[in-house]
Structure 1
Amino acid sequence: MRQPTLATKLLSLASLAAVTQAELGKIHWRGLCNLTNATDMSASGSMICGTLDVPLDYTDSSSNKTLTLDIAKWPATKQPVAEPIIFNFGGPGENSFEGLGLYGEEFQAILGGHNDLIAFNPRGVGNTLPFSCYSDSVSRELASLQAPSDGRASDTALGEIWAQSANIAQACYALNNQTGSLMGTSFAARDTMQVVDALQGKDGLLNFWAISYGTTVGAVIAAMFPERMGFVALDGIDNPAEVLHGYNPQKVVDVDKVLEGFCTGCMAAPDLCPLANYYNNAAELEAAIYIMLDTLKFNPIAIPEIGGVVTYSDVKSTIYEALYLPSSWPLTSELILYVQARNTTVLGISSVYEQLKSYGESASLTSSAKEAGTGVTCSDKARTATMEELLPYIRISEALSKIASDNANGDMTCAQWNKKMYAKERYTGDFNVKTANPVLILSNTFDPITPLAAAKNLTATFEGSVLLEQNGYGHTTLSMPSLCTAKAIRAYFNNGTLPANGTICQTDVPLFTTLTYEDVWPKNFQRSVGSVDDTNALKALMSIREKMSRRRN
């Protein structure tokens, strides 16, 4: 996507016009989407696109300025058509059109096909109040190279990250000072309810499936509008109180356990994990990975052929990101082997080197989506801090995980955020609420960024809610196929049936596998399949796994 210039952004804001009361709150469906003009993915023939005008500033009741949300629908495939389900794909900064376009067919198969699936781009994404801190890719790349991605990279790393974060915060303010305060989770919550009103009327209930940061949006919606909650499924709990008000170092509490799972899975599948041939057990392999990283601190790998350098931050960040998605683990094991061997031929391949650098650069400024995410996160936090005030939280993160990021660059950017871009509305209440219908909360046992403990905490505060634990690894339950989980989600959205308290679903493929749907079904399937819908759901789960892996690699 071409990034908007400052001039076009200001022009867009200036052209926001008042609409008649009859038009406000009405979705204008245009027809089949032409996504080649909206995202970097190929167009999907089944998705319908439209627009919805919502208030620009919910805190200013005297203003009649509006903002146009881009909205998409993946129509139901079966009759009768039930109430729509709204999706939030996380981020913040994720393009919802891309998420629904990629996985709409699979979600219909999982849910049974009787619901229209709805998504809209949140503020800061796509054409909806665009947020970008750099006007061109060269400036973005230059900014990202000024510091490492982790404060443990060297004795001077934290100071470098602090200085770089000041530059990033200023760059974001320079291009977004007129609109930055109009983002944030509370406005995202209100925009979501505007979509519900437009779809179902002012008394309609929200049916919502959210993942990762989307669970924070969902939690805020439930706290602000508890009487309007229909069936709400939150997968991968982002610890909303800490996301909005704190620094959340506990989010990395299970990361090293996920790495242990990587090593255990590797040793169990030597044909798919070449590292297994060099160690006697998983503990040896895990220790070798940490030794490799410590070596890279003082001996980075020169790539003379391209004039590049592979650093501690590059490799550590790439491994950490891979822990989100077990389907990427076979390739990750190969990468680790090449790094251990200091194989400059492979590491110098442009696609390999670029991926390493995309995770290793401290700001991770690979696209404006990252900047939009920063805009939402920092505007929500709305609190300045000195480096000394942040250090205790950074040290907690470091103590909790050796492989995870210490999040210094994110926290330090927010600590230096311009006050004029603090979100105009921020939810400051708690999450001790009783919703009109109980919430379904989902979590993997071992998640590298939204730990099971956060899911348990939120379940305890939402009265009547139930936690479904999936005995798997990776970020959100979608990272590993489980028909048990899919059937529970379908039953919940179809008729409100919740799993029993304490339910733990098993996954249906090993951690290291090249199995496809055809391999798994039917001869190798671990549990019984009771219907055609189950068969379709399993096929959809395997497809999601494959697509997620393809996007990452």
Structure 2
Amino acid sequence: MLKARLRDASLNSPRQAQLQALASARTRRTLGQRLCLPGLVCLAVLALYVSRSGLSTWIPRVRCGKADHGTPEASDFSWDDISPSATLEYQPCFDGFQCARLFAPLNWNATAEEQASCPRVAIAIIKLPARVPVTDSRYGGPVVLNPGGPGESGVYQVLSDGKSLQALLDAPPSDDNGKHFDILSFDPRGVNNTTPRLQCFTDSSDQQSWLASLPDYGLLWHSESVTGLEWARAEALGASCAHGEGDRGILRHVNTAQTVQDMVQIIEKEGEWRAQAASKLVSRWQDPKTARDLMERLAYHPGKERIQYWGMSYGTLIGSTFAALHPDRVQRMVLDGVVDPADHYSGGWLTQLQDSDKILSKFSEYCYAAGPDRCPLYANSSAAEIEERLTTILLDLKVHPIPMAVTNKDGDHAGPTLVTYGDAHLLLLSAVYFPFASAASFFDALFALESKNTSSPALRRIATRKHARATRSMPVDGAIPYVSALGSFQAISCMDSGPLNLTRETFNEFLAELQGQSRWLGLSWARNKLACLGYGMEPAWKPPFSFRTQQWANTSHPLLIVGNTHDTVTPLRNARRVSTLFPGSVVLQQDSQGHCSHSAPAPCTLKVIRRYFQTGELPEQGDVCEPGFRPFLGCTAERGGRGQQCVFDDAEEQRLWDVAVALADPFGLR
């Protein structure tokens, strides 16, 4: 009777809400909303925009023109309309979400007296409410997300992927007793809607102009003059971010340890909010004992609230730091696409690319197995011949860019452009990050580039869209789009490692080591090492630990750590190493390519993650999940093929697959 009464209080039934979320999950989105890219700034400057033709280029992460994705519009909402407060005072925002701005000290390591005299940080928080009220026995509390970066927006992640992730983590419709979660995230310090903001650029147009002047990837480090230019650019960006900053500025307070303390503040205030929300609901009930029991179950426990967390990419660094500093506050923690903490905090940038080039080798294997009907670069002899062919195509563009005259969308002459190695390199990056979405289109583009037929539709689309992006104007940033992660990435990375005392000689040694790790990503990844040039300051507080020890902490609940067999920039070995720091943690291997588990639709992995959040159950150590789809080969579980949806007889399997596809296809290409 009580259970039925509690459930009736929900505005939407779980089944109805899940169907709505599934419909939303099928909405096409752009990669500007997918945020699982550590080193994104220096690999690709910011975010990847991919057209339906397979063209991609890295551009400032702002929305140009009318939205064409599933993210709610913000026409009637402004973060400035929310007054920051010391408690969570949520307001409706973005059609179905709740937003708040929470005060936090500028420096968590300062004394109370110092904190009182310093400016405060106002953290922008967004929540997709659970499909049941807090008084429902199935209410599971908030799952906190971080998308990566560093410097990416949690607000944007929840707006773009929150409903899909909620549909994944919530109990399936057949489970009447499973949990239903809030999905919550925030913009970290110095990022987007959290204030005070880093002022590295005045606006989006300023940043776009800066990015447009980057040397082509094909020129990177090929001469002392190029190295000098890159060095000076890094110094200029650091100086711009540090301009006007002092001891009381935000720059010295954006490092990961400060963000972790912000997360503690958030979960504490969420516990306080939970108890207050429950009190308002049960105050109308006639049964005192029932009300008393509920209030006891939902009571706020000051200083003891625990986190449920899913961190992706750099978000795993936040998670591992949180677990090290607050092991007794872990209720659930998934680390997905794991950053090596020791390497990150030392500014090493040497534990990311060990498996990157293996991804193209696997693509070639899949191409060879699929045959000429499914792969345009198929070669009769072997997969090795396919890989050699794509290598030849890419390297040829370094010395033979393709000159073209382009037309605009109306077919009128629009001027000259070049298709360069840089354009092809960016196509490569999109493919190795998100194989499900773009491996096939990458091979299609290579086939067109090989012919150098400037009248071919594929090549003309590449040239036309490149020219259009180079000449369009950018809008003023609003509540959803923002001056993106470029400055934030540099600042957070630098404040985590501190000054590196880099010289040209040590940089050249570093560059040689990176090239030995990855032929295709090493040159662009090397930009990360320059992040601290120009800052000339230390963080206000660094965490009092070293991740180079063999064991860190016994967490109150063991961690679930997920890694792909071949991850673009967070190799599986990182997951295994971090697992040694936290006794009881388990590594789940997903036998796929790409960055983070969602880069390949794998219902097996999603079931493990959902079960972990639902019950706390971990997989067996050594378990391996197979993906449901491989590039060129198509669906591996049921039936289907390239460009087709996999089909399942079981409705729940199909529902889970559709959610997996929504997460794996950030471009809306399929």
| TM-score category, normalised to shorter length | 0.7 to 0.9
The residue number in structure 2 matching 1:385 is: 502
- Alpha-carbon spacing, 1:132–1:317, altered in 2? closer, same or farther (3 Å): farther
Moved more, 296-305 or 196-205: 296-305
Moved more, 444-453 or 90-99: 90-99
Cα separation, 2, equivalents of 1:501 and 1:367:
42
- Alpha-carbon spacing, 1:138–1:303, altered in 2? closer, same or farther (3 Å): farther
The residue number in structure 2 matching 1:353 is: 466
Cα separation, 1, equivalents of 2:209 and 2:645:
46
- Alpha-carbon spacing, 1:163–1:51, altered in 2? closer, same or farther (3 Å): closer
- Alpha-carbon spacing, 1:386–1:150, altered in 2? closer, same or farther (3 Å): farther
| Count of residue pairs brought into register by the alignment | 506
Deviations 1:201-225 (A, max 9, x none): 4211111011000000001111111
| TM superposition score normalised by structure 2 | 0.70
Cα separation, 2, equivalents of 1:121 and 1:511:
34
Deviations 1:287-308 (A, max 9, x none): 1222223222222222344332
The residue number in structure 1 matching 2:420 is: 311
Match of 1:333 among 437, 443, 449: 443
- Alpha-carbon spacing, 1:90–1:152, altered in 2? closer, same or farther (3 Å): same
The residue number in structure 2 matching 1:90 is: 148
SS in 2 for 1:216: helix
Q: State the one-letter code of the partner of 1:496.
A: G
**Residue 297, structure 1, aligned to residue 398, structure 2:** yes
Q: State the one-letter code of the partner of 2:376.
A: P
Cα separation, 1, equivalents of 2:467 and 2:569:
24
Deviations 1:448-501 (A, max 9, x none): 100001111101111111000011111011111111111111111111100011
Deviation at 1:185, TM superposition (A): 0.7
SS in 2 for 1:253: coil
The aligned runs of 1:137-286 (5 Å cut-off) are: 137-144=204-211, 145-149=213-217, 152=220, 154-156=222-224, 157-174=226-243, 178-200=249-271, 201-269=302-370, 270-276=372-378, 280-286=381-387
Q: State the one-letter code of the partner of 2:251.
A: G
Cα separation, 2, equivalents of 1:166 and 1:318:
28
Q: State the one-letter code of the partner of 1:87.
A: L
Cα separation, 2, equivalents of 1:285 and 1:489:
36
Higher Cα Rg: structure 1 or 2? 2
Q: Does the 8 Å CA contact 1:250/1:397 hold for their aligned counterparts?
A: no
Deviations 1:49-80 (A, max 9, x none): 22211112223222223221111111222542
Moved more, 294-303 or 345-354: 345-354
Cα separation, 1, equivalents of 2:369 and 2:332:
39
SS in 1 for 2:485: helix
Cα separation, 1, equivalents of 2:63 and 2:654:
41
Deviation at 1:535, TM superposition (A): 4.4
Deviations 1:234-278 (A, max 9, x none): 0000111111213222310101111112222223344443222x5
Q: Does the 8 Å CA contact 2:403/2:416 hold for their aligned counterparts?
A: yes
**Residue 27, structure 1, aligned to residue 88, structure 2:** yes
Cα separation, 2, equivalents of 1:323 and 1:262:
9
The residue number in structure 2 matching 1:549 is: 667
- Alpha-carbon spacing, 1:518–1:138, altered in 2? closer, same or farther (3 Å): closer
Cα separation, 1, equivalents of 2:447 and 2:245:
43
Cα separation, 1, equivalents of 2:221 and 2:402:
15
Q: State the one-letter code of the partner of 1:123.
A: R
The residue number in structure 2 matching 1:127 is: 193
The residue number in structure 1 matching 2:429 is: 320
Cα separation, 2, equivalents of 1:151 and 1:503:
43
Q: Does the 8 Å CA contact 1:470/1:505 hold for their aligned counterparts?
A: yes
**Residue 100, structure 1, aligned to residue 158, structure 2:** yes
The aligned runs of 1:450-469 (5 Å cut-off) are: 450-469=570-589
SS in 2 for 1:195: helix
Deviations 1:171-212 (A, max 9, x none): 222366632112111111111111111112421111101100
- Alpha-carbon spacing, 1:241–1:343, altered in 2? closer, same or farther (3 Å): farther
The residue number in structure 2 matching 1:52 is: 102
SS in 2 for 1:520: coil
Moved more, 267-276 or 383-392: 267-276
Deviation at 1:81, TM superposition (A): 0.2
SS in 1 for 2:342: helix
Q: State the one-letter code of the partner of 2:451.
A: A
Deviation at 1:518, TM superposition (A): 8.4
- Alpha-carbon spacing, 1:166–1:308, altered in 2? closer, same or farther (3 Å): farther
**Residue 476, structure 1, aligned to residue 596, structure 2:** yes
Cα separation, 2, equivalents of 1:152 and 1:338:
25
The residue number in structure 1 matching 2:126 is: 72
Deviations 1:503-537 (A, max 9, x none): 001111222348699842315xxxxx6xx655432
The residue number in structure 2 matching 1:522 is: 648
Q: State the one-letter code of the partner of 2:434.
A: L
Q: State the one-letter code of the partner of 1:466.
A: V
The aligned runs of 1:397-546 (5 Å cut-off) are: 397-406=514-523, 407-414=525-532, 416-420=533-537, 422-427=538-543, 429-431=545-547, 432-512=552-632, 513=634, 519-522=645-648, 534-546=653-665
Cα separation, 2, equivalents of 1:440 and 1:408:
31
Moved more, 465-474 or 373-382: 373-382
Cα separation, 2, equivalents of 1:352 and 1:267:
31
Match of 2:488 among 372, 381, 392: 372
The residue number in structure 2 matching 1:7 is: none
Q: State the one-letter code of the partner of 2:128.
A: W
The aligned runs of 1:9-28 (5 Å cut-off) are: 24=86, 26-28=87-89
| Identity across matched positions, percent | 26
- Alpha-carbon spacing, 1:272–1:51, altered in 2? closer, same or farther (3 Å): farther
The residue number in structure 2 matching 1:63 is: 115
- Alpha-carbon spacing, 1:456–1:117, altered in 2? closer, same or farther (3 Å): same
Deviation at 1:447, TM superposition (A): 0.4
Moved more, 300-309 or 236-245: 300-309
Q: Does the 8 Å CA contact 1:448/1:474 hold for their aligned counterparts?
A: yes
The residue number in structure 1 matching 2:35 is: none
Q: State the one-letter code of the partner of 1:287.
A: E
SS in 2 for 1:372: helix
Cα separation, 2, equivalents of 1:163 and 1:428:
33
Deviation at 1:395, TM superposition (A): 1.1
- Alpha-carbon spacing, 1:153–1:280, altered in 2? closer, same or farther (3 Å): farther
Cα separation, 2, equivalents of 1:516 and 1:279:
20
The residue number in structure 1 matching 2:80 is: none
Cα separation, 1, equivalents of 2:644 and 2:416:
44
- Alpha-carbon spacing, 1:27–1:138, altered in 2? closer, same or farther (3 Å): closer
- Alpha-carbon spacing, 1:142–1:105, altered in 2? closer, same or farther (3 Å): closer
Cα separation, 2, equivalents of 1:141 and 1:369:
12
Moved more, 390-399 or 445-454: 390-399
| 5+ residue gaps, structure 1 | 4-16, 35-44, 359-365, 524-528
- Alpha-carbon spacing, 1:439–1:295, altered in 2? closer, same or farther (3 Å): same
Deviations 1:132-158 (A, max 9, x none): 422244543443324344775623433
